[in-house]
A and B are shown apart, each in its own frame.
Chain A
Amino acid sequence: MRTHENPASSRLVLIAALSAAVAVLVGCSTSRKQPAPNADANASAAQSSAQPSAQQPQAKATPFVPPPEVSSKRTNAAILEQIHLADMKEIEAGKMAEAKASSTEVREYADQLVKDHTSADQMVTATAQRIGARLRDSSAQRHKTANATLVEKKLSSANGAHFDRVFLAQTSADHKKLMNELKQARDDASDDDIEALIDKIMPILQQHQDLAEILMKKEPA
């Protein structure tokens, strides 16, 4: 009689199950270096308990002190607004570069910039909805500074290789500034979602800045 029992198969299953168990254990044991939610909760609880005593002397001078939740929400909303504005600005500049850049690599870079910042803005919008913050519509237009207008004019008037150089220099500077601001914002943020969002966005911004610098070196003087 032929038996259907296959020792090789059962050995294979055993090895597979053991390997999977080891892999999952290793995967689970490695922390992503994210602060534990409990630790955060404790920290914020300690902060909120410490705040009333610190604010008591100020209460005499100012008639109204917003509750800590409101002010932290305002800070979180401001951070999201800041990222949203930066995204809008980069998308706008990227679209212009897609149309005007003379080098294929700069056009590819502009395309990547538009895709990444669009994706980042979707994450910002989702986070804003989750924490109940409201991002203003067409805020990019309202918050346009004199410097931003100047840059836009500079980009609009430039053409060919000159445009590429101006665009890359501007993008590199913008990303450097934004990363510095986000580092500060990450410390100020009181929401785990916003911290996680900044942690996800920062490496992408770093890639954009690195690419801008690499492409600038390639550009003819």
Chain B
Amino acid sequence: MDERSSTETVDASAPANRVSWGSRLIAGIADGILSAILMMGFMMAYSNAVGEGVTMPLKALGALVYGVEALVAGSMAMLAGAGIQLGFSIVLGILFALCMSRRTSIIAALFAGLAIGIIIWVVMDLVVLPYMDPTMAARIALMPMVYFVAHLLFGIGLGLTPLFIRAFSGRRDEPRRMSRRTEALPV
């Protein structure tokens, strides 16, 4: 009887590792925001350091909407750039979080995040920038390594998703896990 009940306790821990959709969503959003800040923050800091102005990366990204006029469109172009970066990062963060569980190791997630970062860099460099945003392409040509490193930072940000999942599911799913454990305990 005792042995059976202990087995039941172990089995009950498996479903407890499953994370609710809500927790994944929140973790994905938080991670997307972090990744966007890591990437854009790095590019903005570099741009400022070389005298191009802290807002240049936002304007260059805003050129996807405004074209070359983004360079003189002021805050609207910057908002568009920030919106594109944040929106894209949050969507990727959510998709990434949907593929993770509480038990996914950080190392595995970091590898996956870096791979995604490199894939995005390749797609942006070869397809999106030359054909859809030549304004940004010209700016990126002045700092190709920085753009690559920024994508690696984005990947590292994505790789931290399991931490967010653990943090959010730890709070939200605790009552459910506790009730499962209580059910599994021998009477």
Partner of B115, one of A17, A112, A203: A17
* Residues of A close to B103: CB separation below 8 A: 6, 8-9
Query: CB within 8 Å of B: which of A81-131?
Result: 104-105, 108-109, 111-112, 115-116, 118-119, 122
Count how many chain A residues have C-beta atoms less than 8 Å from C-beta atoms of the other chain: 39
Query: CB within 8 Å of B: which of A160-219?
Result: 199-200, 203-204, 206-207, 210-211, 214-215
* Residues of B close to A111: CB separation below 8 A: 53
Contact between A12 and B99 (Cβ–Cβ < 8 Å)? yes
Query: CB within 8 Å of A: which of B52-71?
Result: 52-53, 56, 68-69, 71
Chain B, residue nearest A104 (CB): B74
Q: Does A37 sit at the interface, judged by CB under 8 A?
A: no
* Residues of B close to A214: CB separation below 8 A: 68-69
* Residues of A close to B46: CB separation below 8 A: none
- With A203-B138, A207-B71 known as contacts, the answer to whether A9 contacts B105 (CB < 8 A) is yes
Q: State how many angstroms separate the Cβ of B79 from the closest Cβ of chain A.
A: 15
Q: Does B45 sit at the interface, judged by CB under 8 A?
A: no
Contact between A118 and B51 (Cβ–Cβ < 8 Å)? yes
Q: State how many angstroms separate the Cβ of B49 from the closest Cβ of chain A.
A: 11
Q: Does B167 sit at the interface, judged by CB under 8 A?
A: no
Contact between A211 and B68 (Cβ–Cβ < 8 Å)? yes
Sorting the interface of chain B by its residue count into under 10, 10 to 19, 20 to 34 or 35 or more gives: 35 or more
- With A19-B116, A105-B72 known as contacts, the answer to whether A8 contacts B10 (CB < 8 A) is no
Q: Does B36 sit at the interface, judged by CB under 8 A?
A: no
Chain B, residue nearest A203 (CB): B138
Chain B, residue nearest A17 (CB): B111
Contact between A16 and B138 (Cβ–Cβ < 8 Å)? no
Partner of A2, one of B13, B56, B116, B118: B13
* Residues of B close to A112: CB separation below 8 A: 71-72
- With A108-B71, A108-B74 known as contacts, the answer to whether A6 contacts B104 (CB < 8 A) is yes
* Residues of B close to A17: CB separation below 8 A: 111, 115
How distant is the Cα of A199 from the Cα of B51 in the complex, in angstroms?
20
Q: Does B108 sit at the interface, judged by CB under 8 A?
A: yes
- With A19-B116, A23-B118, A23-B122 known as contacts, the answer to whether A13 contacts B74 (CB < 8 A) is no
Contact between B121 and A2 (Cβ–Cβ < 8 Å)? no
Q: Does A147 sit at the interface, judged by CB under 8 A?
A: no
Q: Does A20 sit at the interface, judged by CB under 8 A?
A: yes
Partner of B112, one of A2, A13, A26: A13
Partner of A211, one of B51, B69, B116: B69
Chain A, residue nearest B103 (CB): A6
Contact between A12 and B112 (Cβ–Cβ < 8 Å)? yes
* Residues of A close to B141: CB separation below 8 A: 199-200, 203
Contact between A109 and B52 (Cβ–Cβ < 8 Å)? no
- With A12-B104, A23-B122, A105-B72 known as contacts, the answer to whether A200 contacts B142 (CB < 8 A) is yes
Contact between B119 and A23 (Cβ–Cβ < 8 Å)? yes
Q: Does B101 sit at the interface, judged by CB under 8 A?
A: yes
How distant is the Cα of A66 from the Cα of B81 in the complex, in angstroms?
53
Chain B, residue nearest A11 (CB): B108
Q: State how many angstroms separate the Cβ of A119 from the closest Cβ of chain B.
A: 6
Contact between A115 and B99 (Cβ–Cβ < 8 Å)? no
How distant is the Cα of A93 from the Cα of B121 in the complex, in angstroms?
37
* Residues of B close to A203: CB separation below 8 A: 134, 137-138, 141
Q: A13-B107, A16-B111 provided; 8 other pairs, C-beta below 8 A?
A: A8-B103, A12-B104, A19-B116, A27-B125, A27-B126, A108-B74, A119-B51, A211-B71
